[in-house]
């Protein structure tokens, strides 16, 4: 695990769009993506900014994160079930949830292991997997500076790479554009698992 997540958890929880609040696109799109899902695993939930939003949509939600300190912050605002755990080996049975969701480029924290993480999300889901990742012109591992001294490493994807890799994994998916920043944007992968 990158130690940085524990180190910045407290500050992270105070920053808008990192620690609390949702982007306009999230508020609009997530309820639609999750329409037929009652039970949800928020994998890499961070400080838990999506958890109460899902509960208000009448979902049963569990948040899991590898960082103990992130979970401690999430606990301050969410009264439901939280766990400390790794996306790469989730402590749940096959098809335990209707949907696994992995937002804010948490999948990018797995760096080159992201496909193993995606396979775990698929394993524990019955209906859908929804992933939100950071997209750039080219795919790469990037240093994201939290402040002058602290950084974390994340994978960012090109749109071409997403299409190519998800097709290679023989997944049925669609891509939706999420929030846009100056130099990059987020996209959602909505992976349909039903036959």
Ligand X SMILES: C[S@@+](CC[C@H](N)C(=O)[O-])C[C@H]1O[C@@H](n2cnc3c(N)ncnc32)[C@H](O)[C@@H]1O
Q: How does 94-128 read in b/e, with b if 16+ C-beta sit within 10 Å? A: eebbbbbbbbbbbbbbbeeebeebbebbbebbebb
Task: Based on the shown chain and the rule CB under 6 A, indicate whether residue 41 belongs to the binding site for ligand X.
Answer: no
Binding mask 60-99 for ligand X (x = CB under 6 A): -----xxx--x---------------xxx-----------
Neighbours of 184 (CB within 10 A): 13
Taking the C-alpha atoms of residue 160 and residue 163, their distance in angstroms, rounded to an integer, is 5
The correct pick among 30, 110, 124, 166 for binding ligand X (CB under 6 A) is: 110
105 counts as binding ligand X under rule CB under 6 A:
yes
Residue closer to ligand X (CB basis): 37 or 66 = 66
* Shortest Å, Cβ 74 to ligand X: 9
Contact 64, 85 (CB under 8 A): yes
- Contacting residues toward ligand X, per CB under 6 A: 5, 44-46, 49, 65-67, 70, 86-88, 103-106, 109-110
């Amino acid at each position: 695990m990158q130690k940085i997540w524990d180190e910045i958890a407290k500050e992270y929880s105070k920053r808008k769009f990192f620690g609390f609040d949702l982007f306009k696109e999230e508020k609009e799109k997530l309820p639609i993506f999750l329409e037929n899902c009652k039970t949800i695993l928020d994998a890499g939930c961070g400080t838990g900014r999506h958890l109460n939003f899902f509960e208000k949509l009448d979902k049963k939600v569990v948040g899991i994160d590898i960082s103990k300190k992130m979970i401690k912050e999430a606990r301050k605002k969410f009264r439901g079930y939280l766990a400390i755990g790794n996306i790469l080996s989730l402590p749940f049975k096959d098809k335990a949830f209707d949907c696994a969701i992995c937002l804010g480029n948490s999948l990018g924290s797995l760096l080159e292991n992201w496909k193993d993480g995606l396979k775990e999300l698929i394993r524990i889901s019955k209906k859908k997997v929804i992933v939100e990742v950071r997209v750039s012109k080219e795919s790469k591992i990037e240093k994201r500076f939290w402040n002058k001294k602290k950084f974390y490493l994340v994978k960012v994807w090109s749109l071409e790479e997403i299409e190519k890799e998800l097709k290679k994994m023989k997944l049925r998916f669609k891509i939706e554009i999420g929030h846009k920043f100056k130099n990059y944007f987020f996209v959602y992968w909505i992976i349909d698992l039903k036959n």
